[in-house]
Chains A and B, each alone.
Chain A
């Protein structure tokens, strides 16, 4: 069964705890690569504004485009839990190939600043999952706005929806994330 995320957009405060926790846990230096980001989506004009936050990472699609386009099959979707993983040894590097990055509408594949950096991205903290722990971003969230697990379980637990402010569901790729979206009616000047 495929694993994925749940994100409660009504709770996220853009606090970046998940972002830094991920960098610390996975030893990702400051720089262009960040396995998880928080995006601010701002709509309207002063004083009638609406601002929402969206967590951006690999959504471990059911039918991932990165896996399809990788010329050396360095990216795989695991059979057991559906987590999309990259073999950095096999990856051609950003100077020779960025096909995965171009094919992903969610900007999941990330590259460091070094020459011909190999692709890196969220692996749903596979090593933690194997120990029965939640991914570090989920464990970090002071707002309990994130969860991860088999997507069917998340759907039955949260009865979430497939779209949120700033997020477009791809029917082709079927990203494994469900949301409690921020409703249009809340917060305005």
Chain B
């Protein structure tokens, strides 16, 4: 940018990992961002949330990592010295070579994540391609957010493309928000805007949630608090009421589903001798039996009705049973494949490459074959039918489950893992803050021979690195993003020159490729990539897309998942083995795992309210999303921090028992660790439940006690049987400090 230029305004999409992808209008003068506005153009406008509005402060944050750093002090102490790119890249390349030659490629463990969820620099595609060309690496498996929802949707419907576009909420007469809080989690741009319009059109809205969220406050006619990790029990009892009162849509089930009879038998008590009556569920969930019965009747008789099953209850012990039970309730009420209904599946809406609504893209960067993956057999899990586009999601048994990463780094082969891990490469991810059991992470990372982190800020993970590569923000490079349940593409434009010593993920990998002697890694610039991705898409005009920052996919009416399967079942079977909705799954029956039963069942959770451990640790911890962060992004921005202090949400009843007043410092602890944070005493959470919002950075004091409010000091590294990462099942005790 030249000096003295006049102020200009660039439209560009926001790619923060908040759940949306909204339109920013960035005011730039003399090469510097001076203000950010949002969409005021054609409808539907895509207006930013607070995180997008604060992005100027993120780009110019004094604590942004501005040049390559090399560790000089003990690992994890955050003592670094500035080095040149040449030195940093040289060291990383030589360590990659040394570790591969000494231990083999599987000793290189790579953790990627969303980061900014774009199609070029987002996730881990770039580093995966580079390291595949280098000879392979050990990857991870399971999605942090929605593994249980993915599993249940694939088992039941054969696909994860199970959501309607969000504007279809306007066709609903009754909306059941289950553990779903889009006021904080966005859940695709404009979700709350459509919810407001649905309510104004007369829809009744009910919220089932341990917390009285801002979404509940704004939209719900009724709040039903429920004990975490018990959601499946309530849903199964709702099925009981429907069956007993013959309210299920039997014609729908006969025509489109298999296995209802087996489920009916279980629900009525024929399999285990326990009829799943509302009274049975009341004892487990804390929800009054009469409320369960009434809700079941409402859901079965008011049509169309949308059960939006949030993914937070899926991140519990046996959370997949909750998702399976939700999907089956939607089928029992005949709300699949119709306007105003919902399948009860993964509620996010579906971004490319999941192809919910009809659109396509040109080729993304090819990841290639990972030798370490290819040489090991596939895992025995039920997702064998699960593909993304034409690609089978990597489920090689060489991969390490995300919840077990710290354990794997710590123990390697001696702990039963497929390899010993010596070099850890992290990009677009912050595992120390975002994966369970922070104390174990500290031990594990201290054992490593070498660790590389690509970051913008000094997260708890970055503090452990040997080399930190500083990464440019999405306002400093070109990229493209596909939205979720509101159909559009966003163009991420390079609106300013990058901070002089930062590079994009693509540029970092190209520098490494050169040093590693990998010639055919990449020849395209970021903009050439975007052009190519756009070239095979429904976007008609690249330059117009770039100028406007957005291309809205015009649908003649809201998209409804499985409409063809319902309207023309003979020619459009469901993508399952039976071609029908699988209430009973033969795939699961064949696995013969009692913890992954072929029909949805309530399985008593470990660290649930009935666990004997609750004598010692009587409070159920949940770790919800926080409005002012997107996971661990934005944690240090002053404009956002001042809006919401990190605090433990505790009910007035539990606080009183412990002599805790609002704002008091409290110890939150279990056998895995201890956090000291201020309390927020409120009636907006169910007694027996406490909430420490996820995403705060682990900041241990000299005794190892976390002062940053990091929820994952307390969460478990045990995964749910389907592979779900468990962030909302953990028992703790709380004391006044």
Is A59 part of the contact surface with B, judged by Cβ < 8 Å?
no
Decide: A14 and B54 in contact? CB cutoff 8 A. no
B196 proximity list for chain A (CB < 8 A): 10-11, 143
Nearest residue in B to A30 (C-beta to C-beta)?
B638
What's the nearest-Cβ distance from chain B to residue A119, in Å? Answer: 20
Within 8 A of A (CB), among B23-62: 35-38, 40, 47-50, 53-54, 56-57
Which secondary structure characterizes the binding site on chain B?
mixed
B687 proximity list for chain A (CB < 8 A): 46
Query: With A30-B639, A46-B651, A142-B193 in contact, do A14 and B217 touch (Cβ < 8 Å)?
Result: yes
Decide: A25 and B640 in contact? CB cutoff 8 A. no
Decide: A189 and B223 in contact? CB cutoff 8 A. yes
Query: With A14-B214, A25-B35, A143-B196 in contact, do A20 and B653 touch (Cβ < 8 Å)?
Result: no
Decide: A17 and B192 in contact? CB cutoff 8 A. no
Within 8 A of B (CB), among A21-62: 21, 23-25, 29-31, 40, 42, 44-47, 49, 51-53
Partner of B50, one of A11, A17, A144: A17
Decide: B220 and A187 in contact? CB cutoff 8 A. yes
Nearest residue in B to A34 (C-beta to C-beta)?
B642
Query: With A24-B639, A42-B683 in contact, do A17 and B47 touch (Cβ < 8 Å)?
Result: yes
Partner of B218, one of A13, A20, A144, A189: A13
Is A140 part of the contact surface with B, judged by Cβ < 8 Å?
yes
Is A141 part of the contact surface with B, judged by Cβ < 8 Å?
yes
Query: With A45-B683, A46-B651, A49-B683 in contact, do A189 and B222 touch (Cβ < 8 Å)?
Result: yes
A29 proximity list for chain B (CB < 8 A): 638
Query: With A139-B37, A144-B193 in contact, do A186 and B48 touch (Cβ < 8 Å)?
Result: no
Decide: B225 and A189 in contact? CB cutoff 8 A. yes
B224 proximity list for chain A (CB < 8 A): 189
Decide: B627 and A16 in contact? CB cutoff 8 A. yes
A40 proximity list for chain B (CB < 8 A): 217
Decide: B212 and A24 in contact? CB cutoff 8 A. no
Decide: A12 and B218 in contact? CB cutoff 8 A. yes
B50 proximity list for chain A (CB < 8 A): 15-17, 19-20
**Across the A-B interface, how many residue pairs have beta carbons closer than 8 Å?**
121
What's the nearest-Cβ distance from chain B to residue A149, in Å? Answer: 15
Decide: B190 and A142 in contact? CB cutoff 8 A. yes
Tell me the complex Cα distance, A131–B216, Å: 38
Tell me the complex Cα distance, A16–B653, Å: 29
Query: With A14-B218, A15-B49, A142-B190 in contact, do A24 and B56 touch (Cβ < 8 Å)?
Result: yes
Residue with the greatest number of chain B CB neighbours at <10 A, chosen from A19, A45, A142, A144: A142
Is A136 part of the contact surface with B, judged by Cβ < 8 Å?
yes
Is B255 part of the contact surface with A, judged by Cβ < 8 Å?
no
Tell me the complex Cα distance, A84–B47, Å: 28
Tell me the complex Cα distance, A187–B199, Å: 12
What class of interface size applies to chain A in its complex with B? 35 or more
Decide: B643 and A19 in contact? CB cutoff 8 A. yes
Decide: A188 and B193 in contact? CB cutoff 8 A. no
Decide: B642 and A53 in contact? CB cutoff 8 A. no
A20 proximity list for chain B (CB < 8 A): 50, 53-54, 639-640, 643
Residue with the greatest number of chain A CB neighbours at <10 A, chosen from B212, B628, B642: B212
Decide: A188 and B218 in contact? CB cutoff 8 A. no
Tell me the complex Cα distance, A47–B688, Å: 13
A49 proximity list for chain B (CB < 8 A): 212, 223, 683-684
Tell me the complex Cα distance, A89–B57, Å: 28
Nearest residue in A to B651 (C-beta to C-beta)?
A46
Decide: B48 and A140 in contact? CB cutoff 8 A. yes
Residue with the greatest number of chain B CB neighbours at <10 A, chosen from A29, A31, A186: A186
B686 proximity list for chain A (CB < 8 A): 46-47
A53 proximity list for chain B (CB < 8 A): 214, 217-218
Query: With A16-B627, A17-B48, A46-B653 in contact, do A187 and B639 touch (Cβ < 8 Å)?
Result: no
Within 8 A of A (CB), among B223-237: 223-225
Tell me the complex Cα distance, A76–B57, Å: 32
Is B501 part of the contact surface with A, judged by Cβ < 8 Å?
no
Within 8 A of A (CB), among B610-645: 627-628, 638-643
A142 proximity list for chain B (CB < 8 A): 47-49, 190, 192-193
Tell me the complex Cα distance, A24–B53, Å: 7
Query: With A24-B53, A142-B190, A189-B223 in contact, do A51 and B217 touch (Cβ < 8 Å)?
Result: yes
Is B215 part of the contact surface with A, judged by Cβ < 8 Å?
yes
Tell me the complex Cα distance, A141–B39, Å: 10
What's the nearest-Cβ distance from chain B to residue A148, in Å? Answer: 14
Tell me the complex Cα distance, A126–B478, Å: 35
Decide: B37 and A47 in contact? CB cutoff 8 A. no
A12 proximity list for chain B (CB < 8 A): 218
Partner of A187, one of B193, B216, B640, B643: B216
Tell me the complex Cα distance, A1–B640, Å: 36
Query: With A47-B223, A51-B217, A187-B217 in contact, do A141 and B641 touch (Cβ < 8 Å)?
Result: no
Partner of A51, one of B221, B222, B684: B684
What's the nearest-Cβ distance from chain A to residue B713, in Å? Answer: 27
A136 proximity list for chain B (CB < 8 A): 37
What's the nearest-Cβ distance from chain A to residue B470, in Å? Answer: 24
Decide: B215 and A13 in contact? CB cutoff 8 A. yes
Partner of B183, one of A13, A44, A45: A13
Query: With A11-B196, A15-B627, A24-B639 in contact, do A47 and B225 touch (Cβ < 8 Å)?
Result: yes
A139 proximity list for chain B (CB < 8 A): 37-38, 40
Tell me the complex Cα distance, A142–B20, Å: 12
Decide: B38 and A51 in contact? CB cutoff 8 A. no
Is B403 part of the contact surface with A, judged by Cβ < 8 Å?
no
The 5 A-B residue pairs with the shortest CB-CB distance in the complex, in nearest-first order: A30-B638, A51-B217, A20-B53, A13-B183, A46-B683
A residues apposed to B, CB below 8 Å = 10-17, 19-21, 23-25, 29-31, 40, 42, 44-47, 49, 51-53, 136, 139-144, 186-189
What are 21 of the A-B contact pairs (CB < 8 Å)? A13-B218, A14-B214, A15-B49, A17-B49, A21-B38, A24-B35, A24-B53, A24-B56, A30-B641, A49-B212, A49-B684, A51-B212, A51-B214, A51-B217, A52-B217, A140-B48, A140-B53, A187-B217, A187-B221, A187-B222, A189-B225
Known: A143-B193, A189-B212. 16 other contacts (CB 8 A): A10-B196, A10-B218, A14-B217, A14-B218, A16-B627, A16-B628, A17-B48, A20-B640, A21-B53, A24-B56, A25-B37, A51-B214, A139-B37, A139-B38, A142-B47, A142-B190
